[in-house]
Structure 1
Amino acid sequence: MLKGQKTSIRPMEDDDIDTMYQWYNDQEVNLWSSGAWPLNTLQSKDQLAVKFLDGSPDMYRYAILDESDLLIGSIGFKDVNMPGRSATLYVVIGDKTYWGKGYGTDALITFSRFLFAQWNFHRISLDTWDGNVRAIRAYEKVGFKLEGRQREARFVLGNYHDAILMGLLREEFFSLHGKL
């Protein structure tokens, strides 16, 4: 288990699926995590179990816990490019009572350190949509930098929005947060 200052990160477990299903069916959680509501809500518990527990060989998903080991979100990575030592990261704080309190930032710092130190990645990237200002600020606190925009690439609540592409290099991260 990975330990941060506020969060712990562990593999997903069978008991997590009911909570994940609630989050996937919450319009507000989906809006801010991906801008894809209601598309994400059209998955059954069985489909989520396959996605989060069995998954594809190139998608790694983990649970984010609070100080009391309560499941509050998920984090993971995909699109691993071993020759380029890179991957794409995602994070969702599904329990809305933890929004705006630094749990997502702490999980990102903890998980990024793991990816840079243990997986030996050189860079990690992520993306969101331009209306997700809270997430962009959290990403910037971790050290992610704006790398690009895809104009009107996201369709959110009936309107087109730009996709925001951000990246973080290993040395940038360690200079901000230290190696340990």
Structure 2
Amino acid sequence: MLEGKKIKIRPIEEEDIDTLYQWSNDEEINYWSSGAWPLNTLYTRDQIIDKYLENPSDTYRYAMLNENDLLIGTIGFKEVNIPCRSVTLFIVIGEKSYWGLGYGTDALITFVRFLFTQWNFHRVSLDTWDENLRAIRTYEKVGFKIEGRQREARFILGNYHDAVLMGVLRDEFLALHGKLQVAKSGRLE
């Protein structure tokens, strides 16, 4: 289990499926996470189980927990490119009462550090859409830089929007956030 200042990250378990199914059917969560409302709501419960537990393909998905072990979101990566040591990151805070409170920032810092120091990736990228300004500010706070746009690549509620492409390199991230250190107590800091 990974631990940040506010969050814990662990593998997704069967007990998480009902909550993940609820989030996949929530208009506001899907609107901000991907702009894919109502497309994401077409998943059945069995498809959610298949997606998260049985056949995750080349996608690695994890549960994000708060300080009291309440499931508040998911984080993960996909599109692993071994020769380039790069990967694409995704994150969703499904519990809306945790939006804007720093849980996403803490999860991103914790998880991206893990990807750079344990998986030995050189580059982490992600994308969002142009009106998701809260997410863009969070990504920039973590160290991601806007690298480009795909014009009108997203169709959201009847309108085309640009996809915003962002990335961070290992050296940039570690200069900003540092590596974990083992304290004399034996805990990671």
Question: TM-score, normalised to structure 1's length?
Answer: 0.99
Shift of the alpha carbon at 1:57? 3.2
> 1 CA distance for matches of 2:59 and 2:19?
20
> 2 CA distance for matches of 1:172 and 1:55?
34
Aligned to 1:57: 57
> 2 CA distance for matches of 1:35 and 1:9?
25
Q: Relative contact order (alpha carbons < 8 A, sep ≥ 6): 1 or 2 greater?
A: 1
SS at match of 1:6: coil
Aligned to 2:185: none
Aligned residues: 180
> 1 CA distance for matches of 2:2 and 2:117?
12
Gaps of at least 5 residues in structure 1 are none
Tell me the amino acid that sits aligned with residue 47 of structure 1.
Answer: Q
> 2 CA distance for matches of 1:125 and 1:147?
9
Aligned to 1:24: 24
Shift of the alpha carbon at 1:56? 3.2
Instruction: Give deviations 1:66-91, integer Å, cap 9, x for gaps.
Output: 00000000000000001100000000
* RMSD of aligned alpha carbons: 0.6
Superposition pairs for residues 41-120 of structure 1, below 5 Å?
A: 41-120=41-120
> 1 CA distance for matches of 2:57 and 2:149?
29
Aligned to 2:35: 35
SS at match of 2:72: strand
Tell me the amino acid that sits aligned with residue 93 of structure 2.
Answer: I
Aligned to 1:161: 161
Aligned to 1:142: 142
> 2 CA distance for matches of 1:142 and 1:52?
26
Gaps of at least 5 residues in structure 2 are 181-189
Displacement over 6 Å in runs of 4+ = none
Aligned to 1:178: 178
Tell me the amino acid that sits aligned with residue 43 of structure 1.
Answer: Y
Tell me the amino acid that sits aligned with residue 2 of structure 1.
Answer: L
Shift of the alpha carbon at 1:54? 2.0
Instruction: Give deviations 1:113-143, integer Å, cap 9, x for gaps.
Output: 0000000000000000001000001100100
Tell me the amino acid that sits aligned with residue 178 of structure 2.
Answer: G
> 2 CA distance for matches of 1:174 and 1:166?
17
Identity %: 72
Aligned to 1:15: 15
User: Whose Rg is larger?
Assistant: 2
Tell me the amino acid that sits aligned with residue 124 of structure 1.
Answer: V
SS at match of 2:50: helix
